[in-house]
Structure formats: structure tokens, C-alpha cells
Structure 1
């Protein structure tokens, strides 16, 4: 079945295709209304060396870096993503989903703290709660190990929680999925009806196949291919010698 035949079937079964397209449009509108827009806010924090370790650098923590700080940042991120931390954050009024991880392509103990939700104001407030909780959690870890205050790793905010940004990718994906699904189901219904009608159609009413139509036209002639062949009268049978002699005698007598 070529493309032209597909369009002919769609035009012939428009009464099936049209309701399907209307249902597809309704499904797309429903997805647009039911799937809410999500917002995302993100902050960036960094772990700094302790006051004791920065004495040689006149107390400047940005001049004193250690590979152990990156390991500590990874451990802190894993703890913030745990169920215990999520419950603690929700008890403090945070909503949405939380994510803490090492910053991409970071050359140090940089962390991204991200909150995603459907309420723009609540997302920003939750990101602030998450940022503050991360610093408190880092301090708790070290207190549990009886680390002296001057030897504790510190955390500072590099980028404060940003204004929430709408995330339209997920919503757009659902819209495309709904539209494609409705279109496919509409086409399936159209060709199912066409196949059912053809199966119940009498054979005499069906158009002959292409090979039979070409056979009826006869072989191609020199004047043009596809023209019907001209009927040729059978050649007369030759007369025998006696019949020929009788005809000549009869013709001679008639002339006299």
C-alpha cells in the first residue's frame, strides 16, 4: 500500500478518522491541564578546610584544599539524599523532591542542592531549608566524632538558592506522547474498518487487480501499447483442382 492509497483510505473513512482526531485533541488538552508545571531551584555550596589547617595560609580557606574534602562532600550528599534526611526536611516544612550531589565538572568539594516542586514559592523556601540543613548535618557528623571546633570542616554558600525556573520538558514529553498515541489509534481504527468492509464486500463488486486489467487490453502493438488487438479474419481455404476447373467452365459458359 503506497502513500496515495493510504490517503484515499483516510478520505473514504473520514467518519472514523474525524472522531479519532477530536479525541486526540481532547486527550492532549487534558494532559496539558492535568500535568502541572514543575519548578526547580538550586544552590551551590563548597566545603572549606578547618581553621587549624589554614593557619599556614593566614586563615584563608580557599588557599588550603585537600582531596579529603571532596570525599566528605560526596558522603554528605549521600546522607542528604537518604530517607532519614528527607523526613527531617519535611518535618521542617520543606516540600517537593530534594537532590544533593557533587557539582558537574567541579575541581573541588562543590555541591549542588536542588529542590523540585509544583509551587514556585514553596520550592524557593524548601531550597533555603535544604541549604541550611546541609551545613547543620556537616557539623553533626563532626561532633559525633568529637572533632575540635577549630579542626572542623566548614561549609559556605557559593550561590544562594536561585529563583525557581519552570521545567517544561516533562510536560512537553507527555503532550507529545498523548498526541502520538491518539493519532496512531485513530489510524488503526480507520484501517481496521477498511479491512473489515473489504472482507465483507462481494467479489463481483471488487475492482479487478492490475494484472487482469492489463491482460484484457491485449499485447502491445506498434501503434501504441495497451490498445486492443484488431480481429483478423481467417484466411480462405484453398480450393482443390476439381472445384477450380468447374468454376472456370461455369464462368466460360456464362460469358458466351
Structure 2
């Protein structure tokens, strides 16, 4: 059925469609209220190498060590270290340790489009405090894990890579995109159910009407909308009766407007007298 056919069915069964649409609005509002609002926060870490580089000798005096700028030593080793940390933070056991067992809060850790040495942390939780607190836990866990990994490799402490917090946990902001998607999906499904139920009710009622007409022998009545005849203006002049062959005014047919008015009989005029004499004279 085309669009206008659907509109005609909905208009014919409005007493079914209108309550269903109102129920759809109520259910959509209920979904929007009951779905919890999620909050998100984020933070950023940067890895830097030691000023003396990756080598250390106890025979070398501290004043003889060549001093360098750590921010000028962003090589591939820092990128590799950042990727190792993302794998550690992505472990389910680590996530359960930080977020809590059975918690709905989640976090992600990645190196972003650059690939390192930056480490981006983002979290989602049901409250702003939980989202911000989880970012702080992940940042602290990253710093401690970096130190533990280097100690496990027996690296000299003077050569440790350090992690510095560039961006502290940001103020958590509400995410309503998820709620809007839930409401949109629920609205579409409920509207489709409304149309389907209206068509089903229309089909059942038409079948019952046809069965009743078959039992009583009546002609089936069509419920298809037909244009109403134009109303007759009250100020329209009354139609003058036309005389028939007998000189009498013809009566208006049944159902003609102004048929209730009184009919006036007009006698036929007499023929004029001829100028020449006839046999009767």
C-alpha cells in the first residue's frame, strides 16, 4: 500500500492510531528518563627519556655526564614503551582492578593518531565523580607500571623513562547521544507497531462487516472516503417552472431543491380572432 493509502487507513481508524501514538510518546519519554546519563573525562601522559640517555656508568662522574634536553629525545623507544603500557592497561584484570568488580565504568588507553610517546586516557561512568576519579586511577597506575617494568628489567634508575601528566582529569561532561539513540530506536519500533496494529484492526473489522452483510443479505457499505456534494446556497433563486405541452407548469421532480414551494398554474392564452370571415360567422 502506498503512502496515501496508509494515511487513509490511519484516518479511518483514528480511534486506534491516536491512542497508540500517545502511548508511543509516553514510552519514548520513559526510555529517556530511565536510561542513565553517561559522563566522560580524559587525561594525557607523555613519556620522556633521561637527560643522560639510556647508558650509565658508575665510573663516570656526574659533572662529566653530557647534559641533553629530554624533550629532544623522542625516539622510537618511547613510542614502543607507550604501546606496551596500552597493552598492560587493556588487560581485563587491570580494568577490573581500576574500575571495580561489577562496575559499569569503563576506560580506554591509546597512543592516538601519532602513535606515541603521548598516552591518551578517556573514561565513561554513570556519575561525573566516578569518571574523573577513574582517570586519576589510570594515570597513577600508568606511572607505577612504567617504573615496575623498568625495575623488572634491571635497568639503572638513572636511565628510567619517566611519565609526566600533561592534562589532568578534565571536568566530566554528560553524554546524551546514547540516550537519544535509544529513544530514536524505541520511537521507530513503536510507530511501526502502531501502523501494523492499525492495519490489522482495519482488516479484522472489514472481514467482520463483510461476514455480517453476507448473513443479512445487505449490500456491503464501502468506507472509502468520498467527497461530499457541494452545499446549496440559501440565497439561490428559485427555479421557475416550465410549462408542458398542455399549457400547465410541469411539477418539479422529487428531490429537487425548492420542491416544497407552491406550484402556480398559468392558463394558456386564447388565440387571436382572424380578420376574415369563417363558416361560423
What TM-score comes out, normalization by structure 2 length? 0.67
Pairing 1:125–2:139 present = no
Pairing 1:154–2:162 present = yes
- Residue 27 of structure 2 corresponds to 27
State which drifts further: 49-58 or 14-23.
49-58
- Taking the aligned partners of 1:57 and 1:175, their CA distance within structure 2 comes to 63
Equivalent pair of 1:42/1:112 in contact (CA under 8 Å): yes
Q: Which runs of 5+ in 2 are unaligned?
A: 56-64, 225-281
- Residue 68 of structure 1 corresponds to 77
Q: What is the number of equivalent residue pairs in this alignment?
A: 207
SS for the counterpart of 2:53 is helix
Once the two structures are superposed, residues 1-36 of structure 1 have per-residue CA deviations (whole angstroms, 9 ceiling, x without a partner) of: 333322111011112112211221121111111111
Task: Tell me which structure has the larger Cα radius of gyration.
Answer: 2
Considering only aligned residues, what root-mean-square deviation do their CA atoms show, in Å?
Answer: 2.6
- Residue 86 of structure 1 corresponds to 95
- Residue 199 of structure 1 corresponds to 207
Once the two structures are superposed, residues 66-123 of structure 1 have per-residue CA deviations (whole angstroms, 9 ceiling, x without a partner) of: 11211211110111121221233246xx9721211112x2263111111110111221
Pairing 1:134–2:142 present = yes
- Taking the aligned partners of 2:73 and 2:66, their CA distance within structure 1 comes to 7
**1:170 CA displacement:** 0.7
Pairwise mapping of residues 1-256 of structure 1 onto structure 2 (< 5 A)?
1-53=1-53, 58-90=67-99, 96-103=105-112, 105-106=113-114, 108-202=116-210, 204-205=219-220, 207=222
SS for the counterpart of 2:163 is strand
Instruction: Flag as ranges the 4+ runs of structure 1 deviating above 4 A.
Output: 54-57
- Taking the aligned partners of 2:173 and 2:66, their CA distance within structure 1 comes to 39
Instruction: Label 1:82 to 1:108 Cα distance change in 2 as closer, same or farther (>3 A).
Output: closer
Once the two structures are superposed, residues 165-214 of structure 1 have per-residue CA deviations (whole angstroms, 9 ceiling, x without a partner) of: 1111111100101111111110110011112223333274155x9xxxxx
Structure showing the higher helix proportion among its residues = 1
Q: Which runs of 5+ in 1 are unaligned?
A: 210-256
- Taking the aligned partners of 2:111 and 2:197, their CA distance within structure 1 comes to 51
